[in-house]
Amino acid sequence: MTHTDAPLPLFPHRHLLGIRDLSPPDIEILLDRADRAVSISRQSEKKTSTLRGRTQINLFFESSTRTQSSFELAGKRLGADVMNMSVASSSVKKGETLIDTAMTLNAMRPDILIIRHQSAGAAALLAQKVGCSVVNAGDGTHEHPTQALLDALTIRRAKGRIGGLTVAICGDILHSRVARSNIILLNALGAQVRVVAPSTLMPSGIEQMSVNVFRNMEEGLKGADVVMMLRLQRERMAGSFVPSVREYFRYFGLDAEKLKAAKEDALVMHPGPMNRGVEIASEIADGPQSVIQEQVEMGVAVRMAVMEALLDPRRNPEGPGA
């Protein structure tokens, strides 16, 4: 069976700016579509024609290897023409603003713009200015919706469900758009969400996001079904948030000893890129409970699903801007 055999429910949005804008059924639509996309990626013939003739522009103001290549492969597997524009090779360095760049690209009539930017709200701003669909690939410390969706897909495929699971998100919560998007999504689908971090990396008022707060790894991991580690985002830290890397690993790095507190079959996740020996021990990252490689695979499938859903011809048969 191919992904086009049975009609899928219509996704009722033109842009994907954050998980906050999605209802639980919206999330399920994307995860179900992504399940179908996984099988396409596992065939030797990986190219489909869903987005044939469509133009996708990846506009990355922050450096990224895995997210950008994941969006690029996803677009290519759907048959779209994909153009990558990164800040280093653009005139943004010459003082052109985000909006000027967006308007210039918009005049080239793309069908979908994927944006990563260092400022929260950049994707939403862009969506107001351009005539095509916009996908947020990470805006500052705000949201990273496709990461949360790929994490949810990985969990759902491994555990068969999300509702009722206990998920511990650990580490640099303060600077993490991955944590924010995951907290919103996992809560929407009925998981119990815990956040585990030292006080300096715990955002104030995080309790208002319906999470249980822990400042000790063993307590936070106790009985967890999923342990999601976050990268220590040193590039976002102005002062000293952690005494030393060695100290951080000792108390908050995931090693075999700390992992024992979680359920025996707990999944270990990390969005990458990993700082091995800082937030996670190599033996755990590469160990039997790790689904970190699956996350990467699910990333391509989720991005295929998102782009197909946004550009669904049933909603707008003539295409955006027509």
Q: Which is nearer to ligand NCD, 75 or 320 (CB)?
A: 75
Residue 144 labelled as part of a binding site = yes
Residue 177 labelled as part of a binding site = yes
Q: Which is nearer to ligand NCD, 65 or 208 (CB)?
A: 65
Residue 54 labelled as part of a binding site = no
Residue 161 labelled as part of a binding site = no
Closest CA to 214 of 228, 229, 197, 230: 197
Residue 215 labelled as part of a binding site = no
What SS3 string covers the chain? Answer: CCCCCCCCCCCCCCCECCHHHCCHHHHHHHHHHHHHHHHHHCCCCCCCCCCCCCEEEEEECCCCCHHHHHHHHHHHHCCCEEEEEEHHHCHHHHCCCHHHHHHHHHHCCCCEEEEEECCCCHHHHHHHHCCCEEEEEEECCCECHHHHHHHHHHHHHHHCCCCCCEEEEECCCCCCHHHHHHHHHHHHCCCEEEEECCHHHCCCCHHHHCCEEECCHHHHHCCCCEEEECCCCHHHCCCCCCCCHHHHHHHHCECHHHHCCCCCCCEEECCCCCCECCCECHHHHCCCCECHHHHHHHHHHHHHHHHHHHCCCCCCCCCCCC
Q: Which is nearer to ligand NCD, 33 or 270 (CB)?
A: 270
Site residues, ligand NCD (CB under 6 A): 66-67, 138, 144, 147, 177-178, 231, 233, 271-272
**Alpha-carbon radius of gyration of the chain:** 19
**Minimum distance from residue 122 beta carbon to ligand NCD (Å):** 14
**Minimum distance from residue 231 beta carbon to ligand NCD (Å):** 3
Residue 9 labelled as part of a binding site = no
Let me know: does 155 contact 189? Beta carbons within 8 Å: no
**Minimum distance from residue 147 beta carbon to ligand NCD (Å):** 5
Let me know: does 192 contact 214? Beta carbons within 8 Å: no
Residue 25 labelled as part of a binding site = no
**Minimum distance from residue 63 beta carbon to ligand NCD (Å):** 10
**Minimum distance from residue 165 beta carbon to ligand NCD (Å):** 21
Q: Which is nearer to ligand NCD, 48 or 290 (CB)?
A: 290
Q: Which is nearer to ligand NCD, 86 or 316 (CB)?
A: 86
Q: Which is nearer to ligand NCD, 33 or 231 (CB)?
A: 231
Q: Give me the residues paired with residue 195 across strands.
A: 169, 213
**Minimum distance from residue 47 beta carbon to ligand NCD (Å):** 25
**Residue number with the smallest Cβ distance to ligand NCD:** 231
Q: Which is nearer to ligand NCD, 195 or 261 (CB)?
A: 195
Residue 101 labelled as part of a binding site = no
Residue 94 labelled as part of a binding site = yes
**Minimum distance from residue 281 beta carbon to ligand NCD (Å):** 17
Which residue ranges make up the annotated binding site for carbamoyl phosphate?
A: 66-67, 116, 144, 147, 272-273
Which residue ranges make up the annotated binding site?
A: 66-67, 94, 116, 144, 147, 177, 231, 272-273
Which residue ranges make up the annotated binding site for L-aspartate?
A: 94, 177, 231
